[in-house]
Amino acid sequence: MRTAPTILHLDMDAFFASAEQASKPSLRGKAVVVGGLGPRGVVATASYEARVFGVHSAMPMAQARRLAPNAAYLVPRFSLYKEVSEQVMALLRALSPLVEPLSLDEAFVDLEAGGTAWDEGSARLAGVKLRADIRAVTGLTGSVGLAASKMLAKIASEQAKPDGLVLMEPGTERALLGPMSVRTLPGVGPATGDHLRRAGITTVEEIAEAGEDELVRLLGKAHGHALYAMALAHDERPVVAERETKSVSVEDTYDVDIHDRMRVGLEVQRLADRCVQRLRGAGLSGRTIVLKVRRYDFSTLTRSETLRGPTDDPAVVREAAARLLEAVDTTGGVRLLGVGVSGLADYTQEDLFAQAQAHAAAEEPADQEHPADEGSRESGASPEAPAERRWPAGHDVWHAEHGHGWVQGSGLGRVTVRFETPYSAPGRVKTFRTDDPELEPADPLPLVVPVVSPDALEHPGQGSSEPATLPKSRSGGGGEGAATSSP
């Protein structure tokens, strides 16, 4: 293992929710939950204010609403998250050419790969500067861990949350890890944690004291060896430059075979939700849903279904996995279940809403009246128009009179919009018909006010540094609640 803390792990703080708060002044300091808002939606990210109420990622959205009824519930804006992620990754690559992204908001960096000599002091300064640069460029915060290995750097960044930096000095790792929960170590989930607890092992120090042979007896050869090495702070895994992801999957092995068919189905749904969380975290969608089942006799079955188009809708993945399960005989018991998605593509916003709309349409009674349909009939629009006039909560809009805003909610032929930008004071709220011709979807604005050179101000048509998503007619005080630009 290295003698200097030159592995850096960055984890952005409550990334999706923090980006929404930075984008919407009226939500700063308030509980924000981002995820699928349908009856079977799940939480993608909760702000720290929402976590106080017990809301966390992968929780069913219905449960989150019960815990935090006054929170703002928003549909993800992956185009914004990917844009901010690219800014953050560019800052990491300025530190070192060897960067290993784990998701949109998380990455490892090998500082030594840049060819510079590093010690504890210079590594700490690099972490401090990185956090400051991220805040300046994106307006968001990230937590940094520095250590001599990937495992320790990730644990350090968890200890640093939120908005902090923790450096593990080489030689002190065992003492720092010892009192921590076994769940701190990578690969120790709820099932393994419970298994160790029943054996009287609850801390990392107790794992080390149990010895390798006992861990192999409890957990099997591969897991036992790996866990013992981690408890001794041994981790030789290198930082690997980004490579194309071919699939995203999750699986669980059960201490006791599952015989109840209903429970097997519930486990598959839970795994599907976790898989989608990873998929969305990587900014991806996929066409092929894969189900893996290892039965009581260790025989392993794999079934797959390819959809018409890519999706990251948890409802779509759950239903596909459930259909695949119907064709699998689980008589005798199940030892392992897994759900995966392959045939990956970069996330496109249309994927999510097209899938969600098709799913909702399939569930609704044929005679149910759609609020958007009501508005379109009154305006004489064609039946296809409502599909093009969706107003997801949290998404950006532009109004010819009031300027840039975001959707607070919609229904019954109406859409409520708050007009504000990342650079304004909290804005005012107005309600419109869903088919109002002056209201249209808009691109997200940058979270930090774009820098405009003095020359661009004197000659607006020449060399402006403003992005295309922020036309000059929209950046000033054109609407209620909007702030005028300052030179």
Q: Which residues are catalytic?
A: 106
Residue bearing tokens 């009581």: 296
Task: Say how far apart CA 119 and CA 409 lie, in whole Å.
Answer: 52
Give the three-class secondary structure for 257. strand
Nearest in space to 253 (alpha carbons), one of 216, 292, 287, 288? 292
**Tokens representing residue 470 in the block:** 């922020």
Using DSSP, how many helices (H) and how many strands (E) does the chain show?
17, 17
Q: What is the DSSP letter of 42?
A: B
User: Collapsing DSSP states into helix, strand and coil, what is residue 421?
Assistant: coil
Query: Considering only CA atoms, which of 38, 37, 57 is closest in space to residue 47?
Result: 57
Where do we find the tokens 């690219």? Answer: 86
Answer whether 3's CB lies under 8 Å from 170's CB.
yes
Distances in Å between the alpha carbon of 266 and those of 90, 182, 263, 275? 41, 26, 5, 14
Residues in the chain: 487
> How far apart (Å, rounded) are the C-alpha atoms in residues 13 and 45?
10
The helix/strand/coil state of 130 is: helix
Residue with tokens 């989150």: 64
Cβ atoms within 10 Å, residue 37: 17
Enter the tokens of residue 370. 């759609």
**Paired sense of beta strands 72-74 and 32-35, if any:** parallel
Residue 467 CB partners (closer than 8 Å, separation 6+)? 446, 450
Nearest 5°: CA angle at 35, between 33 and 36? 135
For the chain, helix, strand, coil in percent to 5 are: 40, 25, 35
First to last CA, the chain: 52
Cβ neighbours, 10 Å, residue 442: 17
Residue type, 295: R
Question: Concatenated DSSP letters for 68-90?
Answer: -TTSEEE---HHHHHHHHHHHHH
**DSSP tag of 162:** S
Contact yes or no for 465/456 (Cβ under 8 A): yes
How crowded is residue 76: how many other Cβ atoms within 10 Å of its Cβ? Answer: 23
